Amino acid sequence: MNDRPVPPPAATPGLFPIPPLAEQERMIEAILFASAEPVSSAELARRLPEGCDVAEALAHLRSRYAGRGVVLVRVGEAWAFRTAPDLAWLMHSEQVEQRRLSRAAIETLAIVAYHQPVTRAEIEEIRGVAVSRGTIDQLLELDWIRLGRRRMTPGRPVTFVVTEAFLDHFGLESARDLPGLKELREAGLLDSRPLPGAAEAEAEEEDAEDVGQRPLFDE
């Protein structure tokens, strides 16, 4: 794709022949595509080599895109590509709201992954703070953790393990593929910079009195 001769830079006008109209069209196409804002004809003329016929090239480009999935539209004095109006419905499904998992949730998840099967009390011991019910619920709902067997200790507390969906999401074959502490250190992850907002995160914890209360998945 590199075999096309490089046209002259715009900075040296007049020294080179004017590019053919089809080439001017390509140039405008690339500029409009890559620009974050609509681009005015004047700006296009400035960026193209001297002697280009921006209006003519734009007209060609516009008709080339007529009826396509994207169309060339005029926005005031400027030009931009937009999704064809009849395909607007295609864009709708796109919007899944990306949320970052809370620090409490990601830490709880990490503990389950590294220590499974693990009880809630054990999670709290490792984190050094209570684990809110919402955190566990969220991870259950995401289908990243599930209830494992009950621990055969007094109170028979439930344990948590990670799910297939978890392994799938994080691209792991098995939970044993998680890097160990030594590797984390070698990869420079142990001296991680404090995350933004890390300090406030503790505040979200609430207490939890429902340890081992769910008989749901008892086997």
Q: Interface with another protein by CB under 8 A: which residues?
A: 2, 30, 33-37, 80-85, 88, 91-101, 103-107, 109-111, 113-114, 126-130, 138, 140, 142, 146-147, 168-172, 178-181, 184-185, 187, 189-190, 192-193, 195-197
Q: Which of 208, 205, 214 is nearest to 159 (CA)?
A: 214
Closer residue to its own copies in complex, CB, 46/200: 46
Using CB under 8 A, which of 183, 206, 210, 218 touches its own copies?
Answer: 183
33 binds its own copies (CB under 8 A): yes
Sequence-distant (6+) residues with CB within 8 A of 136 are 108, 120, 145, 160
Instruction: Report in angstroms how near the CB of residue 208 gets to another protein at its nearest.
Output: 18
Using CB under 8 A, which of 47, 60, 62, 127 touches its own copies?
Answer: 47
Among its own copies, another protein, none, the one that 97 touches (CB under a kind-dependent 5 to 8 A) is another protein
Query: Containing H/E element for 71?
Result: strand 70-75
**Quick one: which segment of 98-106, 109-117, 188-196, 201-209 binds its own copies (CB under 8 A)?**
188-196
Tell me the HSE value of 106 on the side-chain side, using a 13 A CA sphere: 10
**Distance separating alpha carbons of residues 166 and 186, to the nearest angstrom:** 25
**CB contact at 8 A, 22 and 69:** no
Q: Which of 106, 111, 163 is nearest to 135 (CA)?
A: 106
Residues 97, 103, 105: CA angle, nearest 5 degrees:
75
**CB contact at 8 A, 80 and 32:** yes
Among another protein, its own copies, none, the one that 59 touches (CB under a kind-dependent 5 to 8 A) is none
Among another protein, its own copies, none, the one that 37 touches (CB under a kind-dependent 5 to 8 A) is another protein
Q: How far is CA 17 from the centre of its chain?
A: 45
Q: Which residues bind its own copies (CB under 8 A)?
A: 1-2, 4-7, 9-11, 25-31, 33-35, 47-48, 66-71, 81, 83-87, 89-94, 120, 132-134, 136-137, 140, 146-147, 149-150, 157-158, 171, 173, 176-177, 179, 183, 185-189, 191
